[in-house]
Chains A and B, each alone.
Chain A
Amino acid sequence: MVATQHPSELNPLQLYRQASSILRGTSRATNDGWYQRPLEQQFQLHLRIDGSRAETWIYEPSTGRWKSAPDFPENLILEPSKIAEFAKTSVALAKQAGARSLGIILHIADEFATTEIKPQLDNPGALAELREQIVNDPFAVLDDSSLSADEHSWRLIPYPAGGSEAIATAIILSRQADEFVAKLRAYGNTNNFPVVVDAFSAPLVALLTLPDLKTGPNDNPFIGVLPYARFTVLAFFNEHGDLRLLRTLQHRGQRRPSNLRHAVATTATALEMSAPEIFVLPLAGEPDHQMVSDLKLVFESSSIHEINWRETRFHKAETPSISPELIVAAEIKQVAETPLANTNTFVTLRDEGWATQSFLPMPLAEAEVFPHRSEMKMLRAAKYARYGLFAAVLAVFGWVGVNILNMIRKPEWTFNKQEALMINGRLSMLGQEQKKIAHWDNLLEDRSKGWASMELLARLFPEKSGFLVRSFSHTANPEVTPGQAQVGFIKEWRISGLAREEALIRLSDLNTREGISVAFTEIARVTGNQSFRTDLPSRSVVVNVKTLENSAFKPMPPEEMVAADESTYPFMFDLTITQRFEAADPMALNVAKAP
């Protein structure tokens, strides 16, 4: 059993720990039986005591059948030593039936008394509040405070009829069954099996049989006479079927109250009931026909019905000895289709539970020890939430772990930064070296070579081609442009000489862009000197040829001509070739000094 303390004695953490302990140690989070009233349980044990006999019945709503239960001694509720055995037997029966909880309904039919509430409490709208108040603080409601609250329990019954002197009356029952009820509940707590107990006043429940018994229209006041073994309850209703008054007549050792006839008659007169219909409900075993005869003496013109339970739905053929109150309580949702069933009184008594109020509920201080159903559900949700959060944490840890592991396992993780610095330094040195190589590569380019220019001369004017070259000059000069990393340059060839007739074609050919380009390309090919290439956009070649007649020319037959004789050449020429290299040319000259 889970050790518990009242919440008012605990701090929030202790409250949480107590709730968690209850969650772990009991079935309160999973078994709704703990929070259902006995009449809602799937296994119900109905006990009825009326002072002369005790009866015990098992009712299972799922089948709607009643079964006899083991008898218990009439004085069980006054014999604490026998209660545990009774509880054990009852729980065993419930478990045997496959039930997860046990509802015990104690129908108290051996006592019934009424008392007035304070006259100033006359607001019918405050009935709900008064209903709670009489449980927790009865003397704030009762007009008579002479009885002890430790020994008695009071419940309100409203008087819905218009013109009633009071809005309600209070029913008094003793607390003689308190220990019995408490021990049953304790047994359930100890054994983690819900045992929920209610104690009903049997006459109040019995009133709910009237709508089934009075089937006619509500056009006449009527009186319900409920004789029990020790008392008789009189219930007075107006012509609308609303309750006006409850009275009790104690038998004081006799079979019936001695003043029954007189009491009924005077009360009916006081309530201005003329010829009320009377229903006598035998609730103490065999009917007492004398009581009907007695009443007929004073209500000659009234219709008096002595109820034969065998003719009602409150009689079960297979279990004929069940008292009607038990059947009414168990089948309280079955409503008679009579006018009386829909009156304000019976709707209120039935649907609002006034007739089935428990006179011995679990004390508030005891009930508050346990979390409510919603709190248990919340606690269970918190438990699953923790699992979820734990799973989330595990998932995150796993994800983080896998990620970190993946990173650690990569070669980059163990990489030493010093190596990067070393390679950087090495790369820097290599870069310097590359710059230096590129610089010297540039300076030492074959951009201007004497032997190649001589090859150009030899190829432009080959021997026996009708040319006599008199002078040749070649210059190479850079085009200095401030602020640039590289500068272009201009190469110029000036060739002058003499030419025969047949050589003019060659000169004309050279004097075109295509002609000089072909000549340069040929030089580039045979010498391998790339400066003679003309196919780069950063280069251009311009040629200029001037031809003049040779004034010293002397015509003579070709076989007499000597190559070195200038007078055999009819023409003089001047050839100027200018090749321009722009700064963007691959052979452009670096301006900076070697790094």
Chain B
Amino acid sequence: MNYFRQPIALFGFVLPIVITIAVIAGALMIKGSVTRSFNEKFAHYRGFEQNKRQALAAEAEISKKREYIERWEALVSEETASAVTLNLREIEELLPAKEFQKTAQDHPSGRKSFAGASAQNSSQVALAFRGTFRSMQKALLELETRMPQLQLQELRIGPENQSNSLNFQVTYTAWEK
């Protein structure tokens, strides 16, 4: 009679195999847990690295424009009417009086042209000048350089009847903050 066969099978094979499987399963579970934790950290880290690179790139890009932005913000924060007046006064001093004269300045209400298409705050500036072609071009170049928020909406040029000068009617949309 084989008294020992079953105990040997049980304690010699089955039990060690079960224990081994349990131990290996435990080890694999621990590894799985650590791996999951690592993957989570890895994802965060990779995201962090990527975001860091993006942030550095963005920072570099922004830093190049920051001074402009600050200037732009200062410009669009100003009241358009007074800024236009002030700048034109300074421009008038740069040009011969006979060649450049402001004849009218108005700030019509309503949102026309570019102002009507954008939700950005804006105002209208209607100006009239008398002067020579080149002086007027210089004046507009100066004004539009000093105030980049001005978008030309309309420009009319016609002869001035009583002199050799020209009449200019200029309408701008001025972006505001």
Give the contacting residue for A419; candidates B6, B48, B54, B138; CB below 8 A: B48
- Provide the residues of chain B in CB contact with A400, threshold 8 Å: 27-28, 30-31
Contact A430 B62 (CB under 8 A): yes
Query: What residue of chain A has the Cβ atom nearest to residue B147's Cβ?
Result: A444
**Chain A contact surface mostly:** helix
Question: Size range of the interface on A?
Answer: 35 or more
Known: A12-B11, A16-B8. A472 touches B148 (CB 8 A): no
Known: A400-B27, A400-B30, A413-B41. A379 touches B48 (CB 8 A): no
Known: A385-B16, A386-B16, A450-B144. A489 touches B114 (CB 8 A): yes
**Chain B: minimal CB distance from A288 (Å):** 49
Contact A407 B8 (CB under 8 A): no
A15 at the interface (CB under 8 A from B): yes
- Provide the residues of chain B in CB contact with A457, threshold 8 Å: 157
In the complex, chain B residues 121-177 whose Cβ is within 8 Å of any chain A Cβ? 121, 133, 136-138, 140-141, 144, 148-149, 151-159, 170, 175, 177
Segment from A138-146, A181-189, A322-330, A587-595 that makes contact with B:
A587-595
Known: A389-B17, A450-B144. A424 touches B7 (CB 8 A): no
Contact A476 B148 (CB under 8 A): no
**Chain B: minimal CB distance from A225 (Å):** 43
Give the contacting residue for A375; candidates B2, B118, B151; CB below 8 A: B2
Contact B11 A13 (CB under 8 A): yes
Q: Type the 1/0 row for B1-45, where 1 means its CB is closer than 8 Å to any CB of A.
A: 111111111111100110010011001101100110010011011
A412 to B44, CA, bound (A): 8
A423 to B41, CA, bound (A): 15
Contact B12 A382 (CB under 8 A): yes
B83 at the interface (CB under 8 A from A): no
Q: Type the 1/0 row for A402-432, where 1 means its CB is closer than 8 Å to any CB of B.
A: 0110010011110101011001101100110
Contact B55 A426 (CB under 8 A): yes
Interface size on B, residues (CB 8 A): 74
B51 at the interface (CB under 8 A from A): yes
**Chain A: minimal CB distance from B46 (Å):** 8
Contact B55 A375 (CB under 8 A): no
B116 at the interface (CB under 8 A from A): yes
A262 at the interface (CB under 8 A from B): no
**Chain A: minimal CB distance from B1 (Å):** 7
Give the contacting residue for A470; candidates B5, B34, B48, B159; CB below 8 A: B159
Contact A403 B35 (CB under 8 A): yes
Known: A430-B59, A434-B61, A472-B156. 12 other contacts (CB 8 A): A13-B11, A378-B8, A385-B13, A403-B35, A415-B44, A423-B55, A444-B72, A448-B151, A448-B153, A471-B157, A474-B155, A478-B116
Binding site for A on B (CB under 8 A): 1-13, 16-17, 20, 23-24, 27-28, 30-31, 34-35, 38, 41-42, 44-48, 51-52, 54-55, 58-59, 61-62, 65, 69, 72-73, 76, 113-114, 116-121, 133, 136-138, 140-141, 144, 148-149, 151-159, 170, 175, 177
Q: Can you name 7 A-B residue pairings with CB atoms under 8 Å?
A: A16-B4, A372-B4, A378-B5, A396-B23, A434-B58, A476-B114, A591-B118
Binding site for B on A (CB under 8 A): 7-8, 12-13, 15-16, 18-19, 368, 371-372, 374-375, 378-379, 381-383, 385-386, 389-390, 392-393, 396-397, 400, 403-404, 407, 410-413, 415, 417, 419-420, 423-424, 426-427, 430-431, 433-434, 436-437, 439-441, 443-444, 446-451, 453-455, 457-458, 470-478, 480, 487, 489, 589-594
Closest 4 CB pairs of A and B: A382-B12, A7-B3, A478-B117, A451-B141
